[in-house]
Chain A
Amino acid sequence: MSDTKAGASSADETRGARVDDDTPLSPDEDARPDTSVDISVDAVTDLPKGKMLEVDDVTLRFGGVTALDGVSFHINTGEILGLIGPNGAGKTTCFNVMTGVYQPTSGDVKFMGEALGKRKKFQITKLGIARTFQNIRLFHNMTALENVLVGADAHHSTGMGSALLRLPKHHSEEREGMDRAYELLKFMGLEKRADELARNLPYGDQRRLEIARALATNPKLLCLDEPAAGFNPAEKARLMELIRSIRDQGYTVLLIEHDMKLVMGVTDRIVVLEFGKKIAEGVPAEIQDNPAVIAAYLGVDEDAS
């Protein structure tokens, strides 16, 4: 697939044939991520150091349930921040507030010094926050390539006029999108899967495709919601490697992970939530020894078993 020249039509033609002539469904044919691919974007790598995102005293209630209770923390440019906590602690809810899915009951979220306010979800994405989902939410009946293209379209502006008249903007954006998409698929080790439907990908590939799709939006901050859920320990370790190399290419990452040990290895700092409250924050070594955190996790383990 060196065919990165413009036009979804050319992709269309190659697509039809694929299903018949290879057997893409065996999950063991494991294409390795190629982390040597340069996926950095100037707009992301040239950011000033300092606080990128600040969650400021955010409270969110659902009827009687207080999902977030006066939570404050910040993310520095260029770091990997771990957000951990037992199930139901409010981690996903925190993502939802940061990405505009929910409006906080009180408090606010500042991104690059500006309050998100009542911005819509897609506007926040365009500002530079992209995310994945705890339960995979790909566009299942679109190909892997198309999924990533939708992400890349976040920074495109072709509308009906340019599309109908095939103005130069359409062609240049299609080309840029294709290039970016293939770059990311290669980075994630999904290049061979480009023309398969998302829902036919093996589970692990779907998880990585979600990350590729989010990266395609050129996010300043990449939020990953339990990206290694359902992986075995070896797969988890490999994914953590991958996340680290994403950061090394200049992205800032916020990582939700249930498994505390795993997070210790990759993150620069960690924030711990329990019952919607922040109970600890610090570098991994501090968190490891924090009695409140240990108690929270022990309590959960008892419940879970």
Chain B
Amino acid sequence: MNAVRNFLHGVGDRFRALPRWAKIVLAIAAAVFVYLLPIINPPLITTTDSDFGAVLFLCALYALVAIGLNIVIGYAGLLDLGYIGFFAIGAFTVGILGSAHGNIPLLLCIPIAMAVTLFSGIVLGAPTLRVRGDYLAIVTLGFGEIVRLVLVNADGLTGGSRGISNIPTPPSLDLFGVPHLVWDGFVAKVDLSNQTRFIQFSVTDSIPYYWLALTLVFIVLFLDWRMQNSRVGRAWEATREDEDAAELMGVPTFRFKLLAFATGAAIGGLSGALFATKQQFINPDNFTILYSVLFVAMVVVGGQGNRWGVILAAALLTWAPEKFRFLSDARFLLFGLVLMALAIFRPQGLLPPRRSVRAKRADEETEVLEEGAAHV
């Protein structure tokens, strides 16, 4: 595990040391590769039991979720166990406005969904962010469950347990076909009979949705980076470190916590909207509290506060059960065990933010120094 982490950090260091043009070229190459993954179908990685494009879509979708929740948990230190509630509100806003009770085009539904979740984030956060941190966990858990129960019971609005179907797709612009690769062992062949239309959104092909999700991931990542590297990011970090001291240094901690909570909620809403348009059919069963825990697991496993870590964890935790189908029954059992083991053995996560790694290295050095001193 340490070897993997060191490798990844090593890659990060190397990358940072490169000249600017090389960074740009490499980043573009990596991005192109990620976009082309479902076309390339790389052996070993590709899933045989389920549609690889659909699996990748889920990976990107949950990466988006993890980035949003990472702002709440990783940056601001607020344990939100009701994130699925925002996800559900986003999805159902799109469903209600785009299909059940309206006919609004998707591209308009999505910003509305984000606005609605942002607003619900503020409504839930404003009273509860003042209470102790561990109460917040329970309140948000309750919130997630309230949302689900309301979805089930308010059939007039949400279709109850039947759910909503015929959710609008994004507008298509059919330009050209992209043939997939098929692998014979490790030899690739172009399969002209199997093409993805660029860019045609439909139930039969998940790949355009994957591209859409991935694009959103990149956009949100960029904004996330800008927020973190600013006064806002510093205020979050200070608040997480020592709330009273931060407040006494002039940080309006409540306002910043609310900002993190609401921003996270809006990203959750965006993810939910994306989920709804991909599925085209949603019902309350898609939004049980189990998912909240899954999302938290992604952030904690990835390393709270490290955007790349949580993306990696989201992708891994989504991909692994699809790849290893025989384990899917025990999925939540494994989550439970992993969470416990992580809390006990690696509380900082698989890929902790650079800061904790630095701190740890420095601690080790101190220990060495102290031991040295003790021997003298």
Contacts and interface: CB of A to CB of B under 8 A. Distances in A.
Interface of A: 7-9, 12-13, 15-16, 19, 23, 25-26, 99, 101, 120-122, 125-126, 130-131, 133, 137-142, 146, 149-151, 153-156, 158-160, 162-164, 166, 170, 173-174, 177, 196-197, 199-200, 213-214, 217
A163 B226 contact: yes
25 contacts: A13-B16, A16-B354, A23-B365, A25-B365, A25-B366, A120-B252, A122-B252, A130-B250, A133-B245, A137-B245, A139-B237, A139-B238, A141-B241, A141-B355, A142-B237, A150-B246, A151-B249, A156-B231, A158-B232, A160-B263, A162-B230, A164-B226, A170-B230, A197-B358, A200-B366
Contacts, number: 134
B155 interface: no
B362 A150 contact: no
Nearest to A146: B234
B173 interface: no
B13 interface: yes
A8 B229 CA distance: 6
A139 B229 CA distance: 17
Contacts of B232: 158-160, 163
B117 interface: no
B223 interface: yes
A140 to B, nearest CB: 6
A214 B242 CA distance: 15
B231 to A, nearest CB: 4
Contacts of A15: 354, 358
B249 A213 contact: yes
A223 to B, nearest CB: 10
B171 to A, nearest CB: 26
Given A150-B249, A174-B231, 5 more contacts: A25-B369, A139-B246, A142-B355, A150-B234, A150-B235
B251 interface: yes
A16 B231 contact: no
Nearest to A139: B241
B247 interface: yes
B40 to A, nearest CB: 32
Contacts of B234: 8, 142, 146, 149-150, 153
A217 B234 CA distance: 15
A139 B245 contact: yes
B247 to A, nearest CB: 4
Given A101-B244, A131-B248, A151-B249, A16 B13 contact: yes
